[in-house]
């Protein structure tokens, strides 16, 4: 068996079929990174899984999942100003959380070097929006590399570290979902782990000032702009930019994965068009772009998400009096969704349909039934939503938050009517409860999210005496992103740690009304939620049950067989189990009979109490 | 090797990631160029999961709609979805008859004869239909190794042979888990 950790630590050069996220860890090792931090979020958490796969006694990296992206970024920054090369990685919207500190990085002299790996998510595959984080690079004077595939991500990371160290500036490596998760055979260079010294390198005298206040702000900003200019000049002829010259009068400027989609939809002989692919998207290689514009009568900017390149390239053309026809976004559809090959086909068709390979539209005879995501068999959140729904009035307001429990907004529970961001629920619920005497307000919050960004909203609810009920959906882990530990788990990536228990934490904050119950005690949970909602003021219900996906996987790993439930002949086809409780293990025959799918059932038995005629039992 | 594109589809929890990794490694062991990509994230929770594998010279890891040479469906409703969205005319559909009812069926909002729908579509578009052997398995995730064995036995992926699949399994598993999987693989392969 090829263990990932052993593969990544091989001293000699080798080639291996690896995912982008995993390949990055080899790049970290080769380039002498010492400190890596993160908060888990798709599409990047597999970077953490690859780091923790390294055998502990051979792992030169310090790694932590911090409580949120801002703290992760600060830990990486602190290490880097002390001379340790660092890397922080997180998902697209994670940068919003980190942004207060992130926007300062450009002003800082970072002698150790620091790379920010951003997992943007065009197509919103697993995010609440598809924000274009290239804007953040411009906002903060920080350069951005954008690879087209895993092999390039590996090479660009090493180049980003080299430049970051040399210029003492932060560098962003912006990946998108299908670069993070794509797999390809990658050629890896040899790895020589060198002894690194632990002498503190932090020196405000030598590299500072690090206090950006009063007039030093302007001085630091000027240095940031100079560093960026210097970076731009060096990157003008970077090998990461790619020009495909077929001698055409028409050209396309593009980047990253959309480039690969473009190559896919062009017919095999693509002599009709020239292509400039940019490997650095901020700051732009202006001379290279101007030359490309001058060489072409018409240029199409093919870019995913916003018109970031388009605006800059059009202004370059204006400044240089170029009369090249520049085509950017045609309509709003061009702003929306991932630039897959099919999407690029749609986008290009609006300008140059003659360039495209053939495509047939067909209509299937029978459409497949949609399959929305749902909570796993045995999930404690299912018992919670089933019980909570019974405690609330139909017109009550429910505020969702981020986690597996977000799925409660779907039928059959339909709990959770508004969602902004990680940890927003207490704040939003507080606002909803103002000048509102008719409807109760209930907010949900996961345990990892509580520690991540939920605490300020909770403290504000105590401080400003808000009136709503917060239900904490505690499952002891960060389930949605792959079961990373959180401060309430009692473990971190290195092992045991002090567990921060939620109830005493809330008590110490002055929350007056706290209920705590395992969600499998459904009747009690219903009762507690009723009482909490009746309470005049801020109340909390901790509705806890460990993640059963994690539990069932651990059981299977240990070789244990899971029990199953079955339907007995007492069944009167009331369908509470299959339709209202909604565990996916229950299957419904056309004639109304219900049966339990052994592929799915984990024998947790949380369903037994949902049957009004006691027709569910554990199979002997 | 000529281009050959494979689209895999199933339900979160069926272990499509491991199946896709095994097939990609088998292709690599056969000496062909390969790339691919899986879906990750929230959709995995009981929703549709998909994976793309591309053999031979290709650019994007993603396959265009209606252009896959082979669609592998780990679940019958998903097989229909994959067939409709990704399979080219005259391609091959390999699927398992396992059914995990979608929510709409369980809450009585929808229902259809999926086998008939698949048959009609395959018939209309000259698609070769291969149904994976139905075997009693102690763990539903072992269905994946049945799929592997059928791929090998029916020589569905050109140039990828029994030995390549078995090497791929050895890359990814060890000990009793490997033994168990190889046993099922050989059993279904008919060796």
User: Looking at A187, A219, A235, which one is the last position of a domain?
Assistant: A235
Residue A19 shares a structural domain with residue A46: yes
Which residues in chain A have Cβ-Cβ distances shorter than 8 Å to B63? 341
Q: Per the CB < 8 Å rule, is B60 touching A340?
A: yes
CA–CA distance, A165 with A84 (Å, rounded to integer): 10
Whole-model pTM: value is 0.97
Three-state SS string over A214-282 comes to CCHHHHHHHHHHHHHHHHHHHHCCCCCCEEECCCCCEEEEEEHHHHHHHHHHCCCCCCCCEEEEECEEE
Which H or E element spans position B54?
Answer: strand B48-55
Residue A524 shares a structural domain with residue A580: no
Q: What are phi and psi of B175, to 5 degrees?
A: 60, -145
CA–CA distance, B123 with B117 (Å, rounded to integer): 10
Residue A540 shares a structural domain with residue A428: yes
CA–CA distance, A475 with A65 (Å, rounded to integer): 18
Over residues B23-27, the mean pLDDT reads 98
Nearest chain A residue to B42, by CA? A126
Residue-number span of the structural domain to which A105 is assigned:
4-235
Please report, rounded to a whole number, the percentage of residues in chain A having pLDDT higher than 70. 100
In DSSP notation, A426-451 reads HHHHHHHHTT--SS-EEEEEEHHHII
Q: State the best of B17, B77, B79, B103 to mutate against chain A, taking most chain A CBs within 10 Å.
A: B103
CA–CA distance, B118 with B130 (Å, rounded to integer): 11
Which residues 335-364 of A are in CB contact (within 8 Å) with B?
A: 340-342, 345, 359-360, 362, 364
- Report yes or no: B96 and B142 within 8 Å, Cβ to Cβ: no
User: So what's the pLDDT on residue A157?
Assistant: 98
- For residue B42, what pLDDT band results from cuts at 50, 70 and 90? low
CA–CA distance, B83 with B123 (Å, rounded to integer): 12
Q: Is A191 on the interface with B (CB under 8 A)?
A: no
Q: Is this complex's ipTM strictly greater than 0.85? A: yes
A276: left (phi over 0), alpha (psi -120 to 50) or beta: beta
User: So what's the pLDDT on residue A270?
Assistant: 60
Q: Distance (Å) from the C-alpha of residue A47 to the closest C-alpha of chain B?
A: 13
With respect to residue A375, please indicate whether it lies within any of the assigned structural domains: no
- For residue A236, what pLDDT band results from cuts at 50, 70 and 90? very high
Residue A61 shares a structural domain with residue A194: yes
Q: Per the CB < 8 Å rule, is B46 touching A597?
A: no
Which H or E element spans position A37?
Answer: strand A35-38
- Report yes or no: A391 and A534 within 8 Å, Cβ to Cβ: no
Question: B57 pLDDT exceeds 90?
Answer: yes
Which residues 301-340 of A are in CB contact (within 8 Å) with B?
A: 340
Q: Is A183 on the interface with B (CB under 8 A)?
A: yes
User: So what's the pLDDT on residue A450?
Assistant: 98
> Which value, to the nearest 10 degrees, does the dihedral of the CA atoms of residues A332, A299, B57, A265 take?
40
Q: Per the CB < 8 Å rule, is A1 touching B107?
A: no
Q: Per the CB < 8 Å rule, is B61 touching A584?
A: no
Residue-number span of the structural domain to which B101 is assigned:
4-189
Q: Is B43 on the interface with A (CB under 8 A)?
A: yes
Q: Per the CB < 8 Å rule, is B60 touching A373?
A: no
Q: State the best of A4, A44, A183 to mutate against chain B, taking most chain B CBs within 10 Å.
A: A183
- Report yes or no: B82 and B71 within 8 Å, Cβ to Cβ: yes
Nearest chain B residue to A594, by CA? B106
CA–CA distance, A588 with A596 (Å, rounded to integer): 9
Q: Is B135 on the interface with A (CB under 8 A)?
A: no
Which residues in chain B have Cβ-Cβ distances shorter than 8 Å to A268? none
- For residue A478, what pLDDT band results from cuts at 50, 70 and 90? very high
Q: What are phi and psi of A139, to 5 degrees?
A: -55, -35
Which residues in chain B have Cβ-Cβ distances shorter than 8 Å to A181? 37-40
Q: How many CB atoms lie within 10 A of CB A494?
A: 12
Q: Distance (Å) from the C-alpha of residue B76 to the closest C-alpha of chain A?
A: 10
With respect to residue A372, please indicate whether it lies within any of the assigned structural domains: no
For tokens 């690896």, name the residue. A18
Over residues A256-283, the mean pLDDT reads 91
Residue A108 shares a structural domain with residue A231: yes
CA–CA distance, A86 with A42 (Å, rounded to integer): 21
User: Looking at A530, A553, A576, which one is the last position of a domain?
Assistant: A553
- Report yes or no: A445 and A425 within 8 Å, Cβ to Cβ: yes
Q: Per the CB < 8 Å rule, is A178 touching B24?
A: no
> Does a cis peptide bond (omega within 30 degrees of 0) precede residue A600?
no
Render pLDDT for A365-404 as a digit per residue (tens, 0 to 9). Answer: 999 999 999 999 999 999 999 999 999 999 999 999 999 9
The total number of structural domains that make up chain B: 1
Which residues in chain B have Cβ-Cβ distances shorter than 8 Å to A374? 45-47, 103
User: So what's the pLDDT on residue A269?
Assistant: 65
- Report yes or no: B182 and B22 within 8 Å, Cβ to Cβ: no
CA–CA distance, A533 with A526 (Å, rounded to integer): 11
With respect to residue A201, please indicate whether it lies within any of the assigned structural domains: yes
Q: Is B90 on the interface with A (CB under 8 A)?
A: no
CATH at residue A231: 3.40.50.970
With respect to residue A478, please indicate whether it lies within any of the assigned structural domains: yes
**Burial per residue of A23-45, b for 16 or more beta-carbon CB atoms within 10 angstroms, e otherwise:** bbbbbbbbbbbbbbbbbbbbbbb
Q: Is A43 on the interface with B (CB under 8 A)?
A: yes
- Report yes or no: A399 and A432 within 8 Å, Cβ to Cβ: yes
- Specify the pairing of strand B4-11 against strand A491-492: unpaired
- Tell me the CA distances in angstroms from A465 to A21, A199, A441, B30, one per residue in order: 45, 49, 14, 67
Over residues A323-333, the mean pLDDT reads 97
- Burial (CB < 10 A; 0-12, 13-18, 19+), residue A272, is middle
Nearest chain A residue to B61, by CA? A182
Residue A544 shares a structural domain with residue A566: no
Q: State the best of B106, B116, B127, B144 to mutate against chain A, taking most chain A CBs within 10 Å.
A: B106
- CB within 8 Å of A434: residues ≥ 6 apart: none
CATH at residue B63: 3.40.920.10
- Burial (CB < 10 A; 0-12, 13-18, 19+), residue A66, is buried
Question: B1 pLDDT exceeds 80?
Answer: no
Query: How far from chain centre, in Å, is Cα A409?
Result: 20
With respect to residue A363, please indicate whether it lies within any of the assigned structural domains: no
Q: Is A555 on the interface with B (CB under 8 A)?
A: no
Q: State the best of B8, B22, B61 to mutate against chain A, taking most chain A CBs within 10 Å.
A: B61
Which residues in chain A have Cβ-Cβ distances shorter than 8 Å to B24? 17, 183
Please report, rounded to a whole number, the percentage of residues in chain A having pLDDT higher than 90. 95
**Mean pLDDT in chain A?**
96
Q: Distance (Å) from the C-alpha of residue B44 to the closest C-alpha of chain A?
A: 7
CA–CA distance, A468 with A539 (Å, rounded to integer): 7
Q: Is residue A358 classed as helix, strand or coil in its secondary structure?
A: coil
Which residues in chain B have Cβ-Cβ distances shorter than 8 Å to A182? 35-37, 61
- Report yes or no: A187 and A13 within 8 Å, Cβ to Cβ: yes
Q: Distance (Å) from the C-alpha of residue B30 to the closest C-alpha of chain A?
A: 13
Which residues are A473's β-sheet partners?
A446, A543
Listed residue (A106, A590, A155) closest to B110, CA to CA: A590
User: So what's the pLDDT on residue A358?
Assistant: 79
CATH at residue A258: 3.40.50.920
Q: Is B115 on the interface with A (CB under 8 A)?
A: no
The total number of structural domains that make up chain A: 4
For tokens 């669609």, name the residue. B71
Which H or E element spans position B117?
Answer: helix B114-124
Q: Distance (Å) from the C-alpha of residue B151 to the closest C-alpha of chain A?
A: 21
Handedness of CA A181, A186, A189, A190 (dihedral sign): positive
- For residue B45, what pLDDT band results from cuts at 50, 70 and 90? confident
Which residues in chain A have Cβ-Cβ distances shorter than 8 Å to B121? 364-366
Q: Could you tell me the two tokens for A379? A: 């999930």
Render pLDDT for A63-85 as a digit per residue (tens, 0 to 9). Answer: 999 999 999 999 999 999 999 99
- For residue A338, what pLDDT band results from cuts at 50, 70 and 90? very high
Render pLDDT for A563-598 as a digit per residue (tens, 0 to 9). Answer: 999 999 999 999 999 999 999 999 999 999 999 999
User: So what's the pLDDT on residue B43?
Assistant: 64
Which residues in chain B have Cβ-Cβ distances shorter than 8 Å to A2? 171-172
- Tell me the CA distances in angstroms from B54 to A35, A129, B57, B147, one per residue in order: 36, 29, 8, 18
User: So what's the pLDDT on residue B98?
Assistant: 95
Residue A201 shares a structural domain with residue A348: no
Q: State the best of A371, A375, A478 to mutate against chain B, taking most chain B CBs within 10 Å.
A: A371
Q: What are phi and psi of B44, to 5 degrees?
A: -65, -25
> Does a cis peptide bond (omega within 30 degrees of 0) precede residue A283?
yes
Residues in chain B, how many? 191
Please report, rounded to a whole number, the percentage of residues in chain B having pLDDT higher than 90. 88
Render pLDDT for B150-187 as a digit per residue (tens, 0 to 9). Answer: 999 999 999 999 999 999 999 999 999 999 999 999 99
Q: Is B136 on the interface with A (CB under 8 A)?
A: no
């Amino acid at each position: 068996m090829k263990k990932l950790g052993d593969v990544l630590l091989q001293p000699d050069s080798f080639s291996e079929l690896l995912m982008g996220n995993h390949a990055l860890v080899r790049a970290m090792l080769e380039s002498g990174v010492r400190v890596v931090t993160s908060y888990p979020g798709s599409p990047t958490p597999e970077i953490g899984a690859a780091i923790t796969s390294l055998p502990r006694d051979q792992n030169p990296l310090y790694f932590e999942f911090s409580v949120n992206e801002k703290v992760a970024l600060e830990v990486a920054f602190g290490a880097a100003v002390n001379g340790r090369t660092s890397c922080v990685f997180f998902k697209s919207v994670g940068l919003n959380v980190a942004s207060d500190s992130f926007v300062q990085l450009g002003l800082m002299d970072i002698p150790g070097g620091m790379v920010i790996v951003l997992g943007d998510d065009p197509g919103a595959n697993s995010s609440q929006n598809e924000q274009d984080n290239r804007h953040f690079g411009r906002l903060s004077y920080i350069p951005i590399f954008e690879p087209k595939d895993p092999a390039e991500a590996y090479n660009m990371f090493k180049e980003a570290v080299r430049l970051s160290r040399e210029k003492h500036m932060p560098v962003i490596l912006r990946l998108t979902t299908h670069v993070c998760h794509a797999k390809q055979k990658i050629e890896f260079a040899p790895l020589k782990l060198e002894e690194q010294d632990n002498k503190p390198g932090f020196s405000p005298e030598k590299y500072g000032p690090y206090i950006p206040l009063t007039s030093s702000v302007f001085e630091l900003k000027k240095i940031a702009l100079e560093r960026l200019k210097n970076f731009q000049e060096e990157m003008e002829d970077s090998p990461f930019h790619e020009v495909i010259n077929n001698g055409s009068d028409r050209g396309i400027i593009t980047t990253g994965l959309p480039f690969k989609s473009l190559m896919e939809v062009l017919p095999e002989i693509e002599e009709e068009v020239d292509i400039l692919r940019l490997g650095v998207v901020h700051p732009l290689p202006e001379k290279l772009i101007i030359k490309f514009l001058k060489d072409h009568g018409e240029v199409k900017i093919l870019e995913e998400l916003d018109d970031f390149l388009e605006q800059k390239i059009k202004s370059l053309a204006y400044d240089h009096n170029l009369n090249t026809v520049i085509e950017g976004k045609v309509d709003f559809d061009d702003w929306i969704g991932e630039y897959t090959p099919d999407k690029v086909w749609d986008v290009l068709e609006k300008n140059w349909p003659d360039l495209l390979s053939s495509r047939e539209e067909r209509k299937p005879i029978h459409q497949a039934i949609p399959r929305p995501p749902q909570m796993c068999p045995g999930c404690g959140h299912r018992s919670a939503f089933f019980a909570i729904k019974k405690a609330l009035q139909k017109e009550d307001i429910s505020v969702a938050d981020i986690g597996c429990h977000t799925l409660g907004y779907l039928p059959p529970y339909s709990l959770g009517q508004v969602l902004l961001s990680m940890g927003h629920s207490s704040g939003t619920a507080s606002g909803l409860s103002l000048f509102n005497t008719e409807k109760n307000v209930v907010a949900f919050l996961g345990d990892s999210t509580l520690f991540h960004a939920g605490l300020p909203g909770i403290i504000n609810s105590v401080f400003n005496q808000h009136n709503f009920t917060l239900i904490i959906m505690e499952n002891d882990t960060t389930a949605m992103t792959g079961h990373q530990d959180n401060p309430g788990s009692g473990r971190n990536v290195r092992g045991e740690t002090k567990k921060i228990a939620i109830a005493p934490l809330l008590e110490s904050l002055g929350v007056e009304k706290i209920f705590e119950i395992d969600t499998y005690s459904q009747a009690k949970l219903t009762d507690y939620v009723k009482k909490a909602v009746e309470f005049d003021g801020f109340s909390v219900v901790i509705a806890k049950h460990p993640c059963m996906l994690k539990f069932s996987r651990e059981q299977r790993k240990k070789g244990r067989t899971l029990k199953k439930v079955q339907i007995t002949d007492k069944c009167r086809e009331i369908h509470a189990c299959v339709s209202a409780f909604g565990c996916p293990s229950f299957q419904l025959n056309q004639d109304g009979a219900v049966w339990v799918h052994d592929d799915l059932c984990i024998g947790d038995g949380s369903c037994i109490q949902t049957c009004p005629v006691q027709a569910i039992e554990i199979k002997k | 090797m000529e281009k050959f594109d494979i689209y895999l589809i199933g339900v979160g929890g069926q272990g499509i990631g491991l199946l896709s990794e095994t097939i990609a490694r088998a292709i690599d062991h056969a000496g062909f160029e390969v790339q691919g990509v899986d879906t990750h994230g929230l959709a995995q929770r009981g929703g549709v999961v998909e994976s793309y594998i591309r053999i031979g010279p290709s650019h994007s890891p993603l396959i265009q709609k209606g252009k896959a040479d082979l669609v592998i469906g780990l679940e019958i409703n998903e097989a229909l979805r994959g067939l409709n969205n990704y399979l080219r005319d005259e391609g091959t559909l390999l699927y398992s008859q396992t059914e995990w009812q979608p929510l709409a069926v369980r809450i009585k909002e929808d229902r259809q004869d999926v086998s008939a729908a698949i048959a009609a579509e395959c018939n209309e578009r000259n698609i070769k239909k291969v149904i994976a052997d139905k075997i009693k398995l102690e763990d539903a995730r072992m269905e994946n190794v049945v799929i592997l064995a059928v791929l090998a036995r029916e020589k569905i992926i050109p140039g990828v042979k029994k030995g390549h699949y078995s090497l791929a399994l050895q890359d990814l598993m060890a000990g009793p888990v490997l033994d168990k999987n190889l046993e099922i693989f050989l059993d279904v392969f008919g060796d």
